Structure 1
Amino acid sequence: MAPKDPEVESLKAELLEIIKKCQDDQKQKADTTLESAVANVLNVPKCHLGSNKILKGHINKVNSVHFCGDSRHCVSGSLDGKLIIWDSWTGNKVQIILLRSAWVMSVAYAQSGNFVACGGMDNQCTVYDLKERDSAGGVKMTRELLGYEGFLSCCRFINDSTLITGSGDMKVIIWDLEANKRIQEFDAHNGDVCTLSLSRDLNTYVTGSVDRTCKLWDIRDPTCKQVFFGHEGDINAVYYHPNGYAFVTASEDKTARLYDIRSDQQIGLYKKPAGDPSFTCCGLSISGRLLFCGSDDKQVHIWDTLKEQHNGCLSGHENRITSLSVSPDGMALVTSSWDNSLRVWV
């Protein structure tokens, strides 16, 4: 191990002191707490979701899943080198797409249902047109987005012609898919960009990173709007609140957190009652009242976001849960796992 550079260590200490000062200033300006503000709000009923469908077809770890805008179909990506389009209502496979690289880490389904995208350790993002066929009869690959200097960690469609990606080279890129060119490219974090989440109006988005910060961005401007601190480990997932004024996170530091954009700070902290799992993914119910976090302990943990109370667990997977997606209509939740399967919870 290389010896520590005294100058670097001094700068790190100075940075931590600045962050602490900012957090102290935030606390001084906070005129109430979430707990006291919702003291008169009734507790949410116990959440009872059942594993309605078990989606089997992959023969290796499933790393990512994402719902389509129709709240029925979803796409999953696995280390078996396949994307599978599923009908979550019936549990049937709709299409299977063979990938050039098996090291897929992220998938995205366009809200229109016309396109899917994926990427991972191949350092590129590949887009497929589900309505077109190639000469061999398979789903047509329309774009290979190249030029990344690190793994592709996350991708989301803004619309059928615009895609946003985050990667291990610390960058965020917004692509014009029709012109096959970059609209924006900028250094977003001081570490790998692990996750991103779009607001419902598609004008803003939040990113999370191994640098332990979350940042708020505007699609129309590459300048960071806000930075959020608090986590003590890698931020594995972020999820925009349906009201557009907050977002939740899931982290390696074994906590999930709720950040309020208007007050520019963390207002909720969620920990598992017992055990010591890291959280890998997160999502919110359509009302924003229930928080779902997948974890290393094979379960999805549920909290009441207002009361910060643990509300139960979804059990059934036999290995680490890697990803979850809440259907746009709020009626279902789909999870993926290293047990080679997906589960639909309703």
Structure 2
Amino acid sequence: MYANSQFSNLCGTVYTRGNLCFTPDGNSLLSPVGNRLSLFDLVNNKSITFPFENQKNISRIALSPNANILLSVDEDGRVLLVNFQRRIVLHEFNFKSPVTDVQFSPDGKFFGVALGKNIQVWKSPGLSREFAPFVMHHKYTGHYDEVTSITWSTDSRFFLSTSKDMTAKLHSLFPIEDFATVTLSGHKNYVIGAYFSKDQNMIYTVSKDGALFIWKFTSPQTLTEDDEQHEEMDIDDVEPELSKSKRWTISSRHYFNQSGAKVICSAYHASSNLLVVGFSSGIFGIWEMPEFNNIHTLSISQKAIDSVTINSTGEWLAFGSSKLGQLLVWEWQSESYVLKQQGHYYDMNTLSYSSDGQNIATGGDDGKVKVWNTMSGFCFVTFSEHTSGVSVVEFSKNGHVLFSASLDGTVRAFDLIRYRNFRTFTSPSPVQFTSLAVDPSGEIVCAGSMDTFEIFVWSVQTGKLLDIMAGHEGPISGLTFSPTGLLVASSSWDSTVRVWNVFERSKHVEVFRHTSDVLTVVFRPDGKQLASSTLDGQITFWNVENGDQVGTVEGRKDISGGRKANDRTTAANSSSGKSFNSICYTADGSCVISGGNSKYICLYDVKEKLLIKKYQISHNLSLDGIQEFLNSKYMTEAGPLDLIDQSGDLSDLEDRLDTSLPGTQKGDLSVRKTRPEIRTKCVKFSPTGRSWAAASTEGLLIYSLDELLLFDPFDLEMDITPSSILKTLNSKDYLKALVMSFRLNERYIIRQVYETIPPDDIELVVKDLPEKYIDKFFKFIAVNIEESPHLEFHLLWIIKLLTTHGKYLKQRSNEFSTILRLLQKGVGKVQEDIAKL
């Protein structure tokens, strides 16, 4: 069952680099996250990450005007052609050099690609019968340096290109008699963007140094003396057809006057005449054209704004800042945020599921604790009280309190109702906390230290230190309470796992000895078994009552894989990343899932001690440790080509400056040439048993068991068909129709039968319902309650099922625990929505 988990969402990261793109209806925003794409539905407040991956980090995306075709281009120029509605990759293609911009024409028949100094225009696939998905229309040359942007005219007949050679050019898509390419020159720095006005009689060009030129298509006779001093075009560049009567000239110059800040990005909305400009200081401004009236100037972050875009109605502006991993959608008329999200600034270290599986808390090296909603994929609260990296986070059993342990020497308790830090626990002398455990009642919290090798026990009510448990001879790497709450197990680098009874006076300690350093320890959900992971790649299972070892899993070969760019040895002989630093039992205790410093996550069967499935969490070649074999052509005398710092070759002084402090390991991440390494810091199974999550270099990856697309009948017979079920339903034999629909197991039919049964007959149907269908019925209601408006109807069914079959459920509490938690999650979500009303 658990081997069927599929990638479902990516939280924890909202934007990494590249351009943002609104869908044509203006309600959703596409954002590149590493080598994946996330879609943020701003109206329904949900986020989805597409299942496909590019080979490397995405640098440009473009969506066709009818929202059918999506182009996603990575930093090497490899492009994926995607069916946007079905989210399926149709074709892969390589432009063979980095792409700086890609734009569809407004009629959707062509798209322009900026490659180096040239522009290639290709025919859009799927509009006519062709043998190749990509057919080139024409290649345009003329720029002397890299092209920075492409903008189409509204009638799709012309397009503007801007370049680092400080000019913009006006090209015609099809040959027009006596028309030659028009060059618009006069700027003193790179031209970032050029835009047509709505009537196409004006062109606005924006340069990096903060200058805006407005060009008009006028006849020379109408020029004033002042205008004639402006730069004009060379006669061969002017439209010869109209050269005697009309030409493009500068009508006015304007300056943004942001002291010292450079323009990084800009966007223009033709129908409302709005120009939005983002600066390197984190400030953005909105100007009304052509009068150049400043509507807003606001600072939204401390770092440069990398991408800005405007939706089709002109109401929402989207901003992305790659250095902070920040994504903002701003409604400029009401001056409010529609969306404000930011991932962890550095690595994500740890995660924890709430008891209903609805929320996930994460802690990172940036000292922040964030709580994410699994349904929407959004972060709804961030706690930034810690002053150093957060090593562990843990929810209390009731889900209202979140605990976190940090290397700053504090354990903090956060109230998730009022969103505040209400308790701070510290040790008598400062230590770094690396592990944390909370007992099931939420009264006691324990934390293990890195340097004194002691375990500290506090009371949550009073905040007082109750006990210090000493005995380990190495840093404490893991702590866990048993589900009964009487025992706490600790693992340490001294090769032992110790089981303590916190509430007894005798302080008897059971010691389980291992052959190597123990990295983590975890209890099975029933509390009768322990699993521990050691540095030599083994997972060892222990019987807690007898203290016996009941089995081991040799995982060294399963998890190892991936060679880093500067490794001297092959992936097979490398010693790093060959152990599990995080393990977790599934909700029913039948399997264990484990991850470590590699690209793999392994799922093992506990009873048989066998590997069931290996998940590769990413295929992103921009990360280190993805490839098994390195290509010798990327090896130079100075080392691997990827790691050679080429920032000294950049032409701009601000790009060459390294603003990170000397000696820092984690300075300015965008300047360092070391690539982030692929690794899994933490894996956890959801208490509902339907999904699991991994905190990795890529972000928070969520995998779930999605059975909606499968035809999976149960005890099916020849005479059970949709028509026979509806016939039985019409004859008012409700129980028989319900059982038949469960046997066919088609969700839409179960729903039709379920909603047709009158409320007065619910009790009779539940009384005679065979017990083997109860789990299917609960699962159906749990999924349906979130989507359907019939709230009282669902609650009537749940009450009758629980009261009538309560004894049966109690006898099989292990089997039904995950289903009941799923039901609790659904009811809780509805309760929250009603409470808001």
Change (3 A) 1:263 1:176: closer
Residue 366 of structure 2 aligns with which residue? 80
Letter in 2 for 1:108: E
2:587 equivalent in structure 1: 286
| 8 Å CA contact retained: 1:49, 1:314 | no
Alignment partner of 1:197 is 2:197: no
Identify the residue that residue 685 of structure 2 maps to in structure 1.
326
Q: 2:382 aligns to what?
A: 96
How far has the Cα of 1:336 moved from its partner?
0.6
Q: Structure 2 counterpart of 1:306, which letter?
A: K
Alignment of 1:1-346 (within 5 A): 47-55=3-11, 56=13, 57-132=343-418, 139-147=419-427, 148-158=429-439, 159-168=441-450, 169-221=452-504, 223-233=507-517, 235-272=518-555, 273-274=557-558, 275=560, 277-317=578-618, 319-339=678-698, 341-346=699-704
Q: Which amino acid aligns with 1:123?
A: G
- The worse-fitting range, judged by mean Cα deviation, of 142-151 and 190-199 is 142-151
State the 1:106 CA deviation.
1.1
- d(CA) in 1 for partners of 2:407, 2:469: 20
Q: CA deviation at 1:46?
A: 7.2
Question: Given residue 262 of structure 1, which amino acid in structure 2 is its aligned partner?
Answer: E
Which amino acid is the alignment partner of residue 5 of structure 2? Answer: L
Counterpart of 2:349 in 1: which secondary structure? strand
Contact 1:116/1:127 (<8 A) preserved: yes
Q: Distance in 2 between matches of 1:101 and 1:298?
A: 30
Cα gap change, 1:141 to 1:49, in 2 (>3 Å): same
Secondary structure (helix, strand or coil) at the match of 1:189 reads coil
**Judging changes above 3 Å, is the alpha-carbon distance between structure 1 residues 335 and 231 closer, same or farther for their aligned structure 2 residues?**
farther
Q: What TM-score comes out, normalization by structure 2 length? A: 0.34
RMSD of Structure 2 on Structure 1 (CA): 1.9
Larger mean CA deviation between 211-220 and 159-168 belongs to 159-168
Moved more, 149-158 or 53-62: 149-158
Aligned to 2:153: none
Q: AA paired with 2:489?
A: V
Separation in structure 1 between the aligned mates of residue 421 and residue 616 of structure 2, nearest angstrom = 36
1:47 alignment partner, SS class: helix
1:125–1:145 Cα contact (<8 Å) kept? yes
- Say if 1:231 and 1:53 are closer, same or farther in 2 by CA, change over 3 A: farther
Question: What's the CA shift string for 1:295-336, capped at 9, x where partnerless?
Answer: 111221111111111111122246211112222232221111
Conservation of the 8 A alpha-carbon contact between 2:498 and 2:511: yes
Runs of 4 or more off by more than 3 Å in structure 1?
273-276
Structure (1/2) with the larger helix percentage: 2
Alpha-carbon displacement from aligned partner over 1:127-167 (angstroms, at most 9, x marks no partner): 221222xxxxxx32212211254311112222344212111
Q: Which residue of 2 aligns with 1:40?
A: none
- Aligned partner of 1:343: which letter? L
With 121-130 and 160-169 compared, the bigger mean Cα shift is at: 160-169
Secondary structure, counterpart of 1:306 in structure 2? coil
Counterpart in the other structure of 1:8 = none
Output the CA distance in 1 between the equivalents of 2:471 and 2:348.
27
Q: Is the 8 A contact 2:411 2:425 kept in 1?
A: yes
Unaligned runs of 5+ in 2: 14-342, 561-574, 624-677, 705-837
Instruction: Work out the CA distance in 2 between the residues paired with 1:314 and 1:150.
Output: 36
**Deviation for aligned residue 1:76:** 0.3
Give SS of 1:329's match.
Answer: coil
3-state DSSP of counterpart to 1:170: coil
SS of residue in 1 equivalent to 2:3: coil
Deviation at 1:293, TM superposition (A): 0.8
Count of residues in Structure 1 that have an aligned counterpart in Structure 2:
294
Distance in 1, matches of 2:420 and 2:682, equals 26
CA contact (8 A) 1:155 1:166 kept: yes
Whichever structure has more strand as a proportion of its residues is 1
Any idea what the Cα deviations from partners look like across 1:2-54, whole Å, max 9, x if unmatched? Answer: xxxxxxxxxxxxxxxxxxxxxxxxxxxxxxxxxxxxxxxxxxx6712112111
Once residues 264 and 163 of structure 1 are traced to their aligned partners in structure 2, the CA distance between those partners, rounded to angstroms, is 25
* TM-score of the two chains, using structure 1 as the length reference: 0.80
Higher-Rg structure is 2
Aligned 8 A contact 1:63 1:338 in 2: no
For the residue of structure 2 that corresponds to 1:131, the secondary structure is coil
Q: Which has the higher contact order (CA 8 A, sep 6+)?
A: 1
Query: How far does residue 120 in structure 1 lie from its aligned partner after superposition?
Result: 2.2
CA contact (8 A) 1:278 1:295 kept: yes
Say if 1:95 and 1:305 are closer, same or farther in 2 by CA, change over 3 A: same
**Structure 1, residues 168-200: CA drift from partner, whole Å, max 9, x if none?**
221112211221201222214111111111111
Amino acid at match of 1:198: F
**1:232 is paired with a residue of what secondary structure?**
coil
